[in-house]
Structure 1
C-alpha cells in the first residue's frame, strides 16, 4: 500500500515536487540465492515506482551476525535482515517488528512466533522423511504409503534384507552416524528430532521442553530407540560407521539401497548423479500408533526493522514475495527454494522438494526443534552416544541410559 501511495503522490502538484522514495535495504546471508534475489528486487523496484529495494548479501563463510552488529553500531541497520532462531531473536528483539497483522501469516505454519507475536517471515522450507526408491520397493512388494508405524517398517526392512540379491542392493538403508566422519548430524540431530516432535502437533514442544529441564520421557524414547535400532541394523554398515555424505547419497543414487536418511537438500546431488528413478518420502514412523507426517522446518527468517523509516514499504516487499505470482516465481523457479506458503502452486524440480511441498499443503506434519538445544549439544553430547549405539545396536539399554544421563545434564550447559 505504501508503494502505491508514494507512486501516486509523485504524479500530483503539476510535477513540481517529487514524493520521497521509500528505500528498502535488505541484508541477507544465502549466497546461493544472491542473483535471483537481486533480480527480484530490481523487478519489484521497477513495478513499484515509489519504492527502491536494494539487497546486500554477505559472502560465503562470512560472519553475518558480526556484520549485522557492525551495521547497527554504525547507525546503518537494514530494513530487512535475517535471524536463524531464538538466539538471533534475543540479540535483535529491540529491532524486530511485529508482523502478526500481515496477510501471509495465515498461509504458513512456519512463521517465527515469540510470545504470541509473529516476528519472522520464513525464508524457505527444508525437511525430510525417509527417502525411498519407488522401483525397489515395488519390486519387493512394499507399499510406501503403508509405512506409518514401526511394525510396518520392521516388516518392510526384513523383506528387503531377505531379497538383497534379487533386488541388487547392498543393504536396505543408507544412513551415516560417524562423529569422526562428520556425519553425526544425520542421527544425533535429524533422526533425534523424531523423538522431539514426531506424532505431535506441529508447534508442540512439550518433549524437548522436558529435556531442557533434564527429563527424558522413557516410554516414548524407548519406542524411538527401537526404530533407530531398526535403521542401524538394516543400514549398510560401512556407510553407517565410517561413511561420508558422498558415500551415503551415492549408494542410494546407484540403486544400492532402498532408503536414504537425508533431507531435500540432496536433490541437486541426486540430479548430478543422474538419478532418474521415482523417489518419495515415507514418515519416520517410530511409534506404535500411526504417523503420516514429514519433518518440516524453516532454517531462517526475514525480520523487519521496527525502527525503520520505511517500515511499511519493507512489509509490502515481503507481502508481495509471499502473495504474488512474481514472488512465487522468484522463490521456486529463480531461487530454487520451497516456499513456506501453502498457496504457492509452482513445483520445484527436485522430487524430494516436491514431496515436502505436497506435505506442507496437506498438513499434519511435525516440527523440528533441535535448534532449541544448547549450543554444541547435538555434536558434542548426543553425537558420540548415537555413534556408539551404531557400533553396538543390540545394547539398547545402554543407549537409553546414556541418553538419560545426557539429557539430565542439558540444564547445566
Structure 2
C-alpha cells in the first residue's frame, strides 16, 4: 500500500472513531436524545419523569399512610412521583372529583364511593386487561368492563364488645345465636341485667341512611339490589309493604327501646358511640369495620366482633345470619386530562399494591384494609376485619347496598332516618319519604 493511501485510511478511521465516541457519550447519559431511550444503571430503559395524583376519600389515617406508600413506590420507581389529595370536610368524594374536573385538573387516580364510579365511566380508563383483574375475589364490572380498582372490602352490622357480652351470657358469647329480632332483644335484656347499657346508636346520617336503611335493599330474598331499586324508581315496588323493610324497622324499634342515648338520640356522635362500646359502657353499637381505629383509642387491646342485623323472626332468613359486605372504595384512572405516561404510571402503582410486598404491607398491615384480591394472603390483624373475613369466607354475606345508591342518598334519607330515630316521623311518613326520594331519582 502506498504511504499516501495509508495516511488517508488512517484519517478516515480516526473520523469514524471520533463519531463512535461521540455517539457513545450521547447514549450513555448525555443531553442529546430522548430520555426514554436512556439506559439506567441497571441496563433497563429509564422512563421520562412523571407525576401522578391520587384523590383519597377513605379518611382516618389512610391519607397519611397512602402518602407514605407513594414514597415507597417512588423508591422502587424513581421516575414516578405520587401526590395525595383528600376530600374536604363536608364534601363528598363525588363533589370533590367533580370540582377537579370542572377546573380541568382531575386526579390521575380518583378514589370514590363505589356507587359514584358509574358517573365517571366515560372518563375512566378501561382496566380490563390489567393483571390484578384475574385475581379479584369477585367480578367488578360496569357495562362489561373493569373500570375501577376495588381498594377496600368492608362490612357492617352490630359491633359488640366480646368481654361485655361474655359476661352478659355467663360464658362465651356466640354471635350465630342472634338470628332473629326476638333473640336480639333477649340479648339486650341480658346485657342490661349485667350492668352496661345494651347498645348505643350513633346518630350520623351516613350511617343511618347508607348503611342501616340500605339493609332493607340488600335483604331481599333474591339478593338482587339493582332489581329492587329499579322497582322503587318505577313505583312498582311499595316500600311500605316490603317484608324485609318492615322487619328491619321492627329491629330498629327494639334498638331504640334499649338505646343508651334514647333521651337525646341525635346527640350521640360517631366517636361517642365507639368509646361507649370500647369502654364497656354499652355492649353494642351499629357500624362498620372502619370503626376499629376509634375503638382502639379507648381500648387498644379490646376484642370486638359482628352480629348480623336481623330483619325478621324467621331464623332461616339469610339476612339474619349475614353481614353486608362489599368493595366500598374504588379507584378509577382518568383518561381525559392525564397523559398516557401518567395513566401507565397509575396502572403501575395499582399493580404495585396488589403484587409487591411493600404494597400489600401498606394495604393490609398498615391501613388495615381487607383486600379484594385472592393472591394477597396476609391476614388482617384487627378483630373486626377478622370477623368480616370469617363471614365472607363462610358465604354469610349480603350485598353492601350503599354501593348502589345515588350520592345524595345518605344525606336525604339519612335525615329521614334521624327523624324516625327521634320519633318525629312515624312509619308511614318514613315510607312516604323513601318512596318520594326514589321516584325522583333520574
- TM (normalized to structure 2)? 0.74
Aligned position for 1:102: 130
Deviation of 1:381 (Å)? 4.2
Q: Does 1:145 align with 2:166?
A: no
In structure 2, what is the equivalent of residue 340 of structure 1?
A: 372
Q: Does 1:197 align with 2:227?
A: no
1:293 equivalent among 301, 322, 335: 322
Secondary structure of the 2:287 match is coil
Aligned pair in 2 of structure 1 residues 329, 231: CA closer, same or farther (>3 Å)? same
Partner of residue 3, structure 1 = none
Counterparts of 1:318 and 1:362, CA distance in 2: 28
**For residues 164-195 of structure 1, what are the alpha-carbon distances to aligned partners after superposition, in whole Å with 9 as ceiling and x for unaligned?**
34x1213x221134xxxxx3333333211211
Distance 2:255 2:153 in 1: 25
Residue 122 of structure 2: SS of its match in structure 1?
A: helix
Q: Is the 8 A contact 1:100 1:117 kept in 2?
A: yes
Distance 2:223 2:361 in 1: 27
CA contact (8 A) 1:204 1:367 kept: yes
Maintained 8 Å contact 1:124/1:340: yes
Matched, 1:28 2:55: yes
Structure 1 residue aligned with 2:231? 210
The structure-2 alpha-carbon separation of the partners of 1:78 and 1:388, relative to structure 1 and needing over 3 Å to count, comes to closer
Distance 1:238 1:298, change over 3 A: farther
1:302 maps to what in 2? 331
Aligned to 2:282, what secondary structure does the other structure show? Answer: coil
- Is contact 1:110-1:122 (8 Å) kept? no
Alignment of 1:251 onto 2:266: no
Q: Which runs of 5+ in 1 are unaligned?
A: 1-6, 178-182
Q: Which residue number in structure 1 is paired with residue 156 of structure 2? A: 128
Using the alignment, how far apart are the partners of 2:55 and 2:364 within structure 1?
A: 18
Which residue is equivalent to 2:386?
354
Matched position secondary structure for 1:258: strand
1:320 maps to 352
Aligned length: 387
Q: Which residue of 2 aligns with 1:284?
A: 309
Match of 1:38 in 2: 67
Q: 1:220 aligns with which of 232, 244, 265?
A: 244
Establish whether residue 93 from structure 1 lines up as the match of residue 121 from structure 2.
Answer: yes
Could you say which residue in structure 1 is the equivalent of 2:23? none
User: Structure 2 regions of 5+ residues with no counterpart?
Assistant: 1-34
Change in 2 beyond 3 A, CA 1:362/1:53:
farther
- The answer to whether the 8 Å contact 1:293/1:364 transfers is yes
Please give the secondary structure, in 1, of the residue aligned with 2:256: helix
Residues 181-216 of structure 1, C-alpha deviation per residue, up to 9 Å, x if partnerless? Answer: xx3333333211211113667774322332233332
- Alignment of 1:116 with 2:144, yes or no, is yes
Matched, 1:230 2:254: yes
Structure 2 SS opposite 1:314: helix
- Mapped partners of 1:219, 1:336: distance in 2: 36
**In 2: Cα distance, 1:26 partner to 1:271 partner:** 31
Distance 2:39 2:361 in 1: 30
The answer to whether the 8 A contact 1:342-1:361 is kept is: no
Residue 96 of structure 1 deviates from its aligned partner by: 1.0
Partner of 1:411: 439
Residues 147 and 332 of structure 2 are in contact (CA less than 8 Å); yes or no, is this contact kept in structure 1?
Answer: yes
| Cα distance between partner residues in 1 of 2:333 and 2:233 | 30
1:255, CA displacement in angstroms? 1.3
Task: Please give the secondary structure, in 2, of the residue aligned with 1:119.
Answer: coil
2:223–2:398 CA contact under 8 A, matched in 1: yes
**RMSD across aligned C-alpha pairs, in angstroms?**
3.6
Q: Deviations over 1:247-279 (max 9, x none)?
A: 322321221222111222221222111254421
User: Which whole-Å CA distance do the structure 1 matches of 2:255 and 2:154 have between them?
Assistant: 22
Q: What's the counterpart of residue 175 of structure 1?
A: 201
